[in-house]
Amino acid sequence: MFKFSAVSSSTSSSISFNRHTALRARTWRTLVTGVLLTASAIAQPVFAAPADSMIKAVKFDDVSAVKKLLAQGVDPNLVDNTGAPLLVIAAREKSDKVGKLLAENPNTDLEKLDSAGENAMMLAALNDDLEFVNMLIAKDAEVNKKGWTPLHYAATNGHDDVVKVLLDHSAYIDSGSPNGTTPLMMAARGGHLSTVKLLLDEGADLRVKNQIGMTAVDFAKQYHEKDVAEGLAARLASMQTGASGVPQTGTNSAK
């Protein structure tokens, strides 16, 4: 007859140890599996946010992508991490097709400024992007603004075609920057003879001084633009010895 003997203390301890070891192993496997699953989730591709996609599409003049994102509700007045609105980015990058699309959107603020106080027309004027300038004018964008203007920017780089278009659309020719600097002064500073002549022929006042007392002649001299300085000085002398009733030299205040 078989008899069951009592389990010895050593056997009981062995069983307890084995159970504890198995439990620890299962716990370890669970932890490892969780870590691996988390790592796998992190490793999945991260899709760009709509704002980032829009900014990229504007920079690359990708009309179809911009249309799609606008249809999805992306704000046409979105700004990038530097504070530049989409329309300003388009003007800066010469993304003319996207610029036109944005300008045609009734919700787009055509005058929205970047962190430097520049709007889309100013950047287009600086870049000699006549098509962009004309497009904005056709959409009734403002040609004039307080402080630095599109005309200043066009004159700075000697972009005569843009200067002419802006003047034809009532740009204020003697507009003063925050310190009273005029487009003529900026053209003289850059040595742009043809732009200087164009501005003078259109009525720019050679006698205007900025808030530190500098005229266009002074700008040309300071920046070693000898030909411009001599031409302006000769014209100024001619004005001063001309007919009586010529207004006295004034100081240009900020516009």
In this structure, what token pair is assigned to residue 97? 């097709």
Q: Residues of the chain whose pLDDT is less than 70? A: 1-48, 243-255
What is residue 5's predicted lDDT score, i.e. its pLDDT?
Answer: 44
What is residue 204's predicted lDDT score, i.e. its pLDDT?
Answer: 98
What is residue 8's predicted lDDT score, i.e. its pLDDT?
Answer: 47
Name, in order, each residue with C-beta under 8 angstroms of 185's C-beta and a sequence gap of 6 or more.
Answer: 210, 214, 215, 216, 219
- What stretches of the chain adopt beta strand conformation (E)? none
Q: Helix, strand, coil shares of the chain as percentages rounded to 5?
A: 55, 0, 45
| Cβ atoms of residues 235 and 207 within 8 Å | no
What is residue 216's predicted lDDT score, i.e. its pLDDT?
Answer: 98
Collapsed DSSP state (helix, strand, coil) of residue 24: helix
pTM strictly above 0.85:
no
User: Is the backbone of residue 117 left (phi > 0), alpha (psi -120 to 50) or beta?
Assistant: left
What is residue 224's predicted lDDT score, i.e. its pLDDT?
Answer: 98
What are residue 251's DSSP bridge partners?
A: 209
Domains recognised in the chain with CATH numbers: 48-137 (1.25.40.20), 143-255 (1.25.40.20)
What is residue 175's predicted lDDT score, i.e. its pLDDT?
Answer: 98
Q: What is the pLDDT of residues 80-101, one digit of tens each?
A: 999 999 999 999 999 999 999 9
Q: What is the pLDDT of residues 223-251, one digit of tens each?
A: 999 999 999 999 999 888 874 444 444 55
What is residue 177's predicted lDDT score, i.e. its pLDDT?
Answer: 98
What is residue 29's predicted lDDT score, i.e. its pLDDT?
Answer: 58
What is residue 26's predicted lDDT score, i.e. its pLDDT?
Answer: 59
What is residue 1's predicted lDDT score, i.e. its pLDDT?
Answer: 44
